[in-house]
């Protein structure tokens, strides 16, 4: 399993636009083959910073999504709203502490 964390920093005036893009695409992203879990988080300290936190079956499932029309269309609507370049990390879960 791959855990993907992406940091997105938006211009303040574009936050609501981003939330609309997310609302329009979240069900399709969640239904994409290989997606096990999808969360959107907003920083408690800076409302312009968001994180996606997603679980994928494997690296190939993530790559399939990144090359899909769904990703390309969603990214085309999201990228112009950024205040800073997005940062992304693919990780492996070592332990789940509950």
The reported pLDDT for the residue numbered 27 is: 95
pTM of the model: 0.91
Domain holding 79, by residue range, is: 2-91
For range 11-18, the mean pLDDT:
98
The reported pLDDT for the residue numbered 56 is: 98
Number of domains in the chain: 1
Residue 85, domain member (yes or no): yes
Please say whether the beta carbons of 40 and 22 come within 8 A. Answer: yes
Nearest alpha-carbon partner for 40 in 79, 27, 32, 94: 27
pLDDT in tens, 37-95: 999 999 999 999 999 999 999 999 999 999 999 999 999 999 999 999 999 999 998 98
Q: Domain of 54: which CATH number?
A: 3.30.70.100
Residue 96, domain member (yes or no): no
- The phi and psi torsions of 16 (rounded to 5 degrees) equal -65, -35
């Amino acid at each position: 399993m791959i855990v993907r964390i992406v940091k997105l920093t938006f211009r303040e005036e574009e936050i609501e636009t981003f939330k609309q893009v997310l609302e329009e695409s979240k069900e399709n992203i969640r239904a994409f083959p290989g997606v096990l879990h999808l969360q959107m988080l907003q920083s408690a300290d800076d409302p312009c910073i968001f994180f996606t936190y997603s679980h994928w079956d494997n690296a190939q499932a993530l790559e399939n999504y990144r090359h899909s029309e769904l990703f390309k269309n969603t990214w085309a609507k999201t990228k112009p709203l950024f205040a800073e370049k997005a940062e992304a990390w693919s990780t492996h879960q070592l332990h789940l502490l509950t």
